[in-house]
Amino acid sequence: MGRVLVMLTAAAAVVACSVATVMVRRRVRRRRKWRKVVGLLKDLEESFETPLGRLRQMVDAIAVEMQAGLVSEGGSKLKMLLTFVDDLPNGSERGTYYALHLGGSYFRIIRVHLGGQRSSLEVQDIERHSIPTSLLNSTSEVLFDFLASSLQRFIEKEGHDSISSQDVKRELAFTFSFPVKQTSLSSGVLIKWTKGFAISEMAGEDIAECLQGAVDRRGLDIHVAALVNDTVGALSYGHYHDPDTIAAVVFGTGSNACYLERTDAIIKCQNPRTTSGSMVVNMEWGNFWSSRLPRTSYDIELDAESLNSNDMGFEKMIGGMYLGDIVRRVILRMSQESDIFGPISSILSTPFVLRTNSVSAMHEDDTPELHEVATILKHLGVPKVPLKVRKLVVKICDVVTRRAARLAAAGISGILKKLGRDGSVGEGRRRSSDKQMMRTVVAVEGGLYSNYRMFREYMDEALRDILGDDVARQVVIKAMEDGSSIGSALLLASSHSVRTISNI
């Protein structure tokens, strides 16, 4: 009996030892795996780094490229397009105007009434709809007929006191958020599609004419009287409220900027025909490129697999359409190189399956257990990962968004530098601290900016880092909800009042 007991005890000890060994081995393996993940994260952080010195080089590069783009057509990747907008709205405009805004993800239709004073601006109606994805690679006819039918529905629901009963044609501004070579305020040809649009045989077409044709085919009493880049709309709205507004930036599906330039600096345009001595220039900054941009293997892959590879390099690092996909690519690579996310999810391999609104939801998840992160990962086919892995995902979102926001800040600082408003020592200029800095307002619009707090905070922080506190205090970043759409209608109104006055 005693011997049996001894043998049983010995056997139990052996089993316990083996279990312990297995557990220790597993723990060691897990630790080793986690160390690998920590290494991957470190590499990620390094490759996405945007130290201040590098941002400053980018600021210089942007200012230089802006100059090159103003000197000659094709002189820079920045197209620096003429807009034929010289007078910006100032609050004295009157009348009822419409705008149809085709963005990257949404289209909006608005009707505004202006009573001749800033305070009397009334947005009478505004509609916002997602652009059906089937339109993105449809035909010109399908796209413009869709827009015209939406306009038709919009005006059909107007009340009897509306403009329709006054026997006046409706005046509409077409806010268009793709690169256009303007030939006047009311006409311009598409240079190329961006942001996932791929409607063939449209480059070179007059965009305003396309919409007017579709509107006429439906017998609508609408005159497409202005073709306005969305950034120019945002600038108009900003200027309407605050005359110190000299630039506008859109951070939405894509990203772009415009600013007010002296006509004598637009060397490529011999006869700019403006009365104010300045003209708004649409930078098309999404196409900015510099060897100083922190380009990673994720960016290279994203670009190679995109519809417009070798194009819009800056936009692909900061645009709302792309941030989610960069985060997806990082998670996918980590799940391939370690098994911390469990078996590799096929959903994770689907381009654009992770959207930037999910990135901000994960990044700003303030629940102790990171419930939002868990839910989104589950939708990506990655269920039940431990808390430390969820924390890792938040960190990935942080790394990708922080880079985007800091690059965005460098872009804005580049415009300020070009205008001599960044406080740096310029040709024959004194340091800003020696003189009174001019107050400068930059209008900002777009779903990425307005909905993603961490993006805004990182951008503000980087602006202060780049410009220094004294200069940054003079630079006001003003969010303009629906500014592109409303501002385009204001711009149309202002061009009408100029015409009315000059006709007298």
Positions touching Mg ion (CB under 5 A) are 103, 230, 252
317 binds, among ligand ADP, Mg ion, none (CB under 5 to 8 A by kind): none
320 binds, among Mg ion, ligand ADP, none (CB under 5 to 8 A by kind): ligand ADP
CB of 272 to ligand ADP, least distance (A): 29
34 binds, among ligand ADP, Mg ion, none (CB under 5 to 8 A by kind): none
Structure-token match 């869709």, residue found? 146
CB of 254 to Mg ion, least distance (A): 8
| Cβ proximity to Mg ion, 329 vs 355, nearer residue | 355
| Pairing mode, strands 180-184 and 106-115 | unpaired
CB of 386 to Mg ion, least distance (A): 39
CB of 53 to ligand ADP, least distance (A): 29
Say if residue 370 is exposed, middle or buried (CB neighbours under 10 Å; 0-12, 13-18, 19+).
buried
| Cβ proximity to ligand ADP, 48 vs 322, nearer residue | 322
DSSP 246-305: EEEEEESSSEEEEEEEEGGG-TT-S----SSSEEEEE--GGG---TTS---HHHHHHHHT
| Cβ proximity to Mg ion, 37 vs 249, nearer residue | 249
Stated as kind and residue range, the H or E segment containing 20 is: helix 2-47
| Cβ proximity to Mg ion, 252 vs 319, nearer residue | 252
CB 347 within 8 A of CB 335: no
Phi/psi region, residue 428 (left: phi>0; alpha: psi -120 to 50; beta: rest), is left
Phi/psi region, residue 430 (left: phi>0; alpha: psi -120 to 50; beta: rest), is beta
CB 409 within 8 A of CB 455: no
CB 306 within 8 A of CB 298: no
* Separation between Cα atoms, residue 109 and residue 101, nearest integer Å: 6
| Cβ proximity to ligand ADP, 252 vs 381, nearer residue | 252
| Cβ proximity to ligand ADP, 323 vs 471, nearer residue | 323
| Cβ proximity to ligand ADP, 454 vs 498, nearer residue | 454
Positions touching ligand ADP (CB under 6 A) are 103-106, 177, 252-253, 320-321, 356-357, 360, 446-448, 451-452
- Sign, CA torsion 116/120/123/125: negative
Structure-token match 């460098």, residue found? 410
CB of 105 to ligand ADP, least distance (A): 4
| Cβ proximity to Mg ion, 252 vs 423, nearer residue | 252
48 binds, among Mg ion, ligand ADP, none (CB under 5 to 8 A by kind): none
CB of 371 to ligand ADP, least distance (A): 17
CB of 361 to ligand ADP, least distance (A): 7
CA contacts within 13 A on the Cβ side of 130: 3
Among candidate residues 283, 268, 107, the one with its CA nearest the CA of residue 197: 107
CB of 215 to Mg ion, least distance (A): 22
CB of 355 to ligand ADP, least distance (A): 7
321 binds, among Mg ion, ligand ADP, none (CB under 5 to 8 A by kind): ligand ADP
| Cβ proximity to Mg ion, 248 vs 376, nearer residue | 248
95 binds, among Mg ion, ligand ADP, none (CB under 5 to 8 A by kind): none
> CA triplet 91, 247, 204: central angle to 5 degrees?
100
Stated as kind and residue range, the H or E segment containing 9 is: helix 2-47
